[in-house]
Amino acid sequence: MAIKLNKGGSYNLTKEEPALKKIMIGLGWDSGKGLDLDASVFLLGQNLKLPAEGFFVFYNNLRSPDGAVQHTGDNRTGVGDGDDEMILLNLDLVDNHVHEILIVASIYDAEIRNHNFGLLKDAYIRLYDVENKREILQYDLDALYPDATIVEFGKIHRIGTEWKFTAMGLGSEKGLQGLVDIYA
């Protein structure tokens, strides 16, 4: 059974899941309002900056330079059950300069369409062990950020030789470009 995390909750992936290597990061949501959520990942160095432009993985850059992260493509509707967007992560391939993997969800054209996270239902992010075919943990959003257009859901960060997941839940109205400006 998967662990349900709340904002600020953490989980030591290395200690609790010692065989974990390949993770599927799933983002799911429902909305009758036509929201287009986008999952993105920032692979950050110790200085909390991208080591190079290619370490920002999103719908227009589907693979990190080290091959550790691969986005499976853009879902523009959120229609249907289960994960709507997926990002694959291989912990063994993560570049040694990367210390944090920031997982974000943004709303495409939020300002133009007057969309925000308050219009979502059943939004979540989950980590799934690809090799053992089981969900490890899930973090539910459920419209906690009514005015936000982007949410920093969580981060997988390296502490020495261990990987830990922390549910951040930081919502803002910066949009995706606002985060790119911070981490580039």
Going from the N-terminus, what domains does the chain have, and what CATH number goes with each? Answer: 3-183 (2.60.60.30)
Among 141, 83, 143, 140, which residue's Cα sits nearest to residue 117? 143
Contact at 8 Å (CB) between 40 and 57? yes
State the alpha helices, DSSP H only, in 33-117.
Answer: 110-113
User: What letter represents residue 154's amino acid?
Assistant: G
- CA–CA distance, 52 with 43 (Å, rounded to integer): 9
pLDDT in tens, 130-184: 999 999 998 877 556 778 889 898 999 999 999 999 998 888 998 899 999 999 9
Q: Positive or negative, the Cα torsion across 174, 108, 140, 133?
A: negative
Contact 125, 27 (CB under 8 A): yes
| Pairwise CA distance, residues 58 & 71, whole Å | 7
Question: Which is higher by pLDDT, 69 or 29?
Answer: 69
| Alpha carbon distance 125, 154 (integer Å) | 9
Amino acid present at 91: L
d(CA 6, CA 104): 16
Model pTM?
Answer: 0.91
List, for residues 94-117, the tens digit of each pLDDT value. Answer: 999 999 999 998 988 888 888 888
> Which stretches within the chain are classed as H helix?
13-16, 110-113, 175-183
What mean pLDDT is predicted for residues 26-52?
87
